[in-house]
Structure 1
Amino acid sequence: MDCHIKDLIEEDMPTLFFEEVSITYNQNPLFINEQIFSPTNINLLKDLFSELGIVCDITPYSLYRNVMIKNKDEKSSIIFDINMSINQRAELHVRDFYISVNQRILDETIIKKALIFALETYAKKLKCTQIKFRVSKDLEPMEDNVYTKIQTLPSNFKFTMGTDPTLFIENNYEEFNNPFSFEDTTLWYKNLL
């Protein structure tokens, strides 16, 4: 039959649930254009992260327009927590861009740069019109003692709540200035189409 035994006897619950939801929302442009966090698109995102050496759990919610991403193994050199959404205009919005790395073996700036590029690549594959990153303005390095303590090998986890603006400027992102905003975050955006 030219298929694996798992194809015959194992049910893929996330895919079955997605198919059920997509029937209900088959007139929604995001579903029609596959610009949502469907199982196929989640696998694409996992593949991009695995190319960076990151194994993660990705949990979609709110009709597959939002997703939570966390690293899978606590004993990893990269700890991250990212939340993303896709709005009706097919704009990918990245929030909670939290990344902590073991600075004995990795450079936080290089990892953030690689993740920004991976997420931009993902947004282009989904034919998103724009990608946005909402990041903290706090650029003070902080110790991450929780992860440093659980490691067996010597480690030095540190993180910066914010992201150096240079990473966005070098990659042709623009800062969105909202004169009425008093938030402690900055919104960087890039048009993709």
Structure 2
Amino acid sequence: MVITSVGEDAHRVDALLDLGGDERLADGVRQLATARPQSVMWACTSGSFVFGPDGARRQAAKVAAAAGVPASSTSIAFVDALHHLGIRRVAVAASYPQDVAEHFVRFLAADGVEVVAMGSHGIITAAEVGTLEPDRVQAMVAAADHPDAEAVLVPDTAMHTLAIIDRLEAAVGKPVLTANQVTVWKGLQLAGGVPALPGLGRLFEAVR
């Protein structure tokens, strides 16, 4: 794993466009060279969806070309995971400010995913998101849920969710897709196959 450079830790569109810039990602790929990965994931949701669907795919294509292996990003992984599960209507539990969260809604809509409800929590920095306790995360997910949603999405890789996905799904009674979960899933898929992994939610049970 390589942590790419950060100009400013801020959930603002200008800062996120800088975060996902070509040179920052190219530098990250160069640092990965000695690891000889089978796939590469740009493990950042907001730093990919702010570029829009076409921009996010160009971003991933540049990473793949530089790395010489298949590559994707967290935002693209969300869409691919929803297609994999056959889900079209979702609720979003976003840590971001409203304007940033709306970029994610538009990103999903471009691939035919309808957001029927969204909770936006206005947290500016990834550092603060990383301090959220499991009870707070669960409350955010439950508050964002909607009867018409087939799944709840949690789009922030700074939020610690991998250890509590089963708990989150139990709380809402439906799949919960989180940023780190879909990133791992997509990276494994690109590398050749996704094993069934207990504790990582219904996405990792729907192996085919």
- Compute the TM-score of the two structures, normalised by the length of structure 1: 0.32
Answer with 1 or 2: which has the greater Rg: 1
Higher relative contact order (CA 8 A, sep 6+): 2
Higher strand content, 1 or 2 = 1
- Compute the TM-score of the two structures, normalised by the length of structure 2: 0.30
